Each structure stands twice: as C-alpha cells, then as structure tokens.
C-alpha cells in the first residue's frame, strides 16, 4: 500500500515539470514528507513491523560526499543493504512461479521460449 502511494506521488511530481523556488512552499513540502515518514514509522511500530533504519535520514544535509563522516556513511549504506526489499522479494516469487509453470507445461514453454536452431543455441 505504501509503495503504491509512493509511486503515485512520484508520478505526480514527475508530471509537474516545475519546482517552486518559494522557500515557504519548499519548507511546507519537506515538512509534509517528514510528517509522512514519522507517521509510517509509528504505523510500523503499531503493526509490529521492523522500523525503517533510514527513515531519519530523509533530509539532505547539504554536504559534499567528501565532507561527510565516512564511518557513519558506511554504516548507513550497510543498513540500506540489509533492509528488506519487497520488490525484489515479489520479483523472485514471480520468477519462481514462471519457472515452475514452464517446467510443468511443455506446450506453454514452447510458446514462450525462443525456438532453438540447434544444440546449445537459443536464437539467432
């Protein structure tokens, strides 16, 4: 559900084709995003889900890469790598289902897979 909301918000922002230069508008947008991040963290806690370790890192600190604390940055990257990826998990499940279907149904696999022109060759 959250993913769908995020995709919809991204599409809306991408279609907008402009960015406000008004500081008050930009601050209001950032405050709205921060409030949503905090609300999601609270909902995660209420539902008993693992909290997002990177939820507090939403704001840009304005520093160049070379000006940041390398140890802290490495820890953040490690947390990002360890956090669950629902899209990856769903993609793996879909791929597993497709492999299972193709292994069981030869006519279906003949329609889907490219025709072989010889041993060890898929297609020209």
pLDDT reported for residue 124: 45
What contacts 116, CB < 8 A, 6 or more positions away?
122, 123
What sections of the chain are H helices per DSSP? 2-16, 23-47, 70-82, 86-104, 106-112
Read off the pLDDT of each residue in 78-92 and give the average, rounded to a whole number.
81
Close Cβ partners of 83 (under 8 Å, ≥ 6 residues apart): 52, 53, 54
Residues 3-62: tens digit of each pLDDT: 788 888 889 888 988 888 888 998 898 889 888 888 888 888 887 776 666 566 555 566
Residue 116 CA to residue 46 CA, distance in Å, equals: 54
Other Cβ atoms closer than 10 A to 41: 15
What tokens appear for 121 in the block? Answer: 């060759």
Cβ atoms of 68 and 61 closer than 8 Å: yes
In this predicted structure, what is the pLDDT of residue 51? 66
What SS3 state is found at 64? coil
The answer to whether 2 touches 40, Cβ cutoff 8 Å, is: yes
């Amino acid at each position: 559900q959250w993913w769908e909301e995020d995709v919809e918000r991204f599409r809306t922002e991408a279609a907008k084709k402009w960015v406000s230069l008004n500081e008050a508008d930009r601050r209001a947008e950032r405050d709205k995003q921060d409030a949503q991040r905090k609300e999601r963290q609270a909902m995660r806690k209420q539902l008993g889900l693992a909290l997002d370790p990177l939820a507090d890192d939403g704001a840009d600190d304005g520093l160049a890469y070379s000006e940041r604390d390398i140890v802290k940055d490495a820890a953040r990257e490690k947390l990002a790598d360890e956090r669950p990826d629902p899209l990856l998990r769903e993609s793996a499940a879909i791929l597993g289902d497709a492999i299972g279907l193709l292994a069981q149904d030869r006519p279906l696999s003949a329609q889907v897979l490219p025709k072989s022109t010889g041993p060890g060759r898929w297609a020209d």
